[in-house]
Amino acid sequence: MIAYLFPGQGSQFAGMGHKLSTHNPETTRIFHQANEILGFPVSELMCEGTAEELRQTKVTQPAIFVYSVALSRCMADRFHPNAAAGHSLGEFSALTACGALSFEEGLQLVAARAQAMQSACDLTPGGMAAIIGLADEEVERVCAAVTSGIVVPANYNCPGQVVISGDVKAVAEACTLLKDAGARMTVTLEVGGAFHSPLMAPASDALKTAVEQARIAPPRCAIYQNVTARPTQDPEVIRENLLAQLTGAVRWTQSLQCMFTDGVNSCLEVGPGTVLAGLVKKTNRAVGVESAACDDIN
């Protein structure tokens, strides 16, 4: 069984769209359609924008979504996943590539999500940090003991790597405590806010109507969603989990482990970069994994 994996924010890079934009008429059409839907030239930023321009949440999220979906369309003759999952933003790419959302509706939701998250960041500044070398349970215990503000595990990326998120002071306190608890390394991330934490509640409120009104069909294969790490093809469950994802943790480690238990023995990363391929290898080296590239597709 093969699972297709779709990356989230952080996988972008300058010039990421250049080869894909001219790969075939279908990708060119998708890039032009994205520009019209968004009202700004995202394709130009994907092809010629600087790393700093691509780092803006309102650009990053649509850019990665457009790239991932366009790449999946290039693979139409061999796009037959038995399962799929997306890391944070990538969940929208997975749902669109697997037929639960139309490209237009998926991109509109992603754009609304990015704007809502940016507004929440402006309202309540926050931070995130990667914690390396501690068990998930120890990270959870330490975060619960922090007294200077809200801090929670936000991304369970792979065994021994958890990202925490919350108030800036609380994240700093947690990092100190986690080092004392034996963390091999703590790395403050260059992000604009406390993603996947209670500080994103305003974003969830802002996105609620758009998600509730979205036309979601059963996807062609089971989608392992971030907040539950469980597979579903039920549109109403998908809808509920998409909203919960903004303030809930990305349970990526658990999602991969659940896939492997369910029989997945091969993964293909569909999107810019190779971040998810690396996380698969760190989670289970017995599982085969590759990253799709437009150079390899006819």
The model's pLDDT over 142-199, given as tens digits with 9 standing for 90+, comes to 999 999 999 999 999 999 999 999 999 999 999 999 999 999 999 998 777 899 999 9
- Read off φ and ψ for residue 143, nearest 5 degrees: -60, -40
Instruction: Tell me which of 12 and 149 has the higher pLDDT.
Output: 149
78 three-class SS: helix
User: Rounded mean pLDDT of 26-35?
Assistant: 88
Are 281 and 157 within 8 A, CB to CB?
Answer: no
pLDDT at 20: 78
Examine the residue annotation and report whether 197 is marked as an active-site residue of this protein.
Answer: no
> Quick one: tokens of 58?
């309102």
- Read off φ and ψ for residue 166, nearest 5 degrees: 160, -155
> Quick one: tokens of 198?
């209670």
pLDDT category, 23, cuts 50, 70, 90?
low
Task: Tell me: pLDDT of 298 over 50.
Answer: no
Task: Tell me: pLDDT of 293 over 90.
Answer: no
User: Rounded mean pLDDT of 23-32?
Assistant: 82
Q: What does the pLDDT look like over 205-241, one tens digit per residue?
A: 889 989 999 999 999 999 999 999 999 999 999 999 9
Q: What does the pLDDT look like over 43-76, one tens digit per residue?
A: 888 888 888 877 777 888 999 999 999 999 888 7
**Of the listed 72, 87, 196, 204, which one is catalytic?**
196
User: Rounded mean pLDDT of 199-207?
Assistant: 89
Please state, rounded to an integer, the average pLDDT across all residues of the chain: 90
Q: Which domains does the chain have, with CATH numbers?
A: 2-122+198-296 (3.40.366.10), 134-188 (3.30.70.250)
pLDDT at 67: 93
Examine the residue annotation and report whether 88 is marked as an active-site residue of this protein.
Answer: yes
pLDDT at 77: 74
How distant, in Å, are the alpha carbons of 9, 58, 139, 153 from that of 191?
A: 10, 13, 20, 15
pLDDT at 297: 52
pLDDT at 295: 47
Q: What does the pLDDT look like over 100-146, one tens digit per residue?
A: 999 999 999 999 998 888 888 888 889 999 999 999 999 999 999 99
**Of the listed 21, 68, 88, 204, which one is catalytic?**
88
Task: Tell me: pLDDT of 296 over 80.
Answer: no
Work out whether strand 83-86 and strand 2-6 pair parallel, antiparallel, or are unpaired: parallel
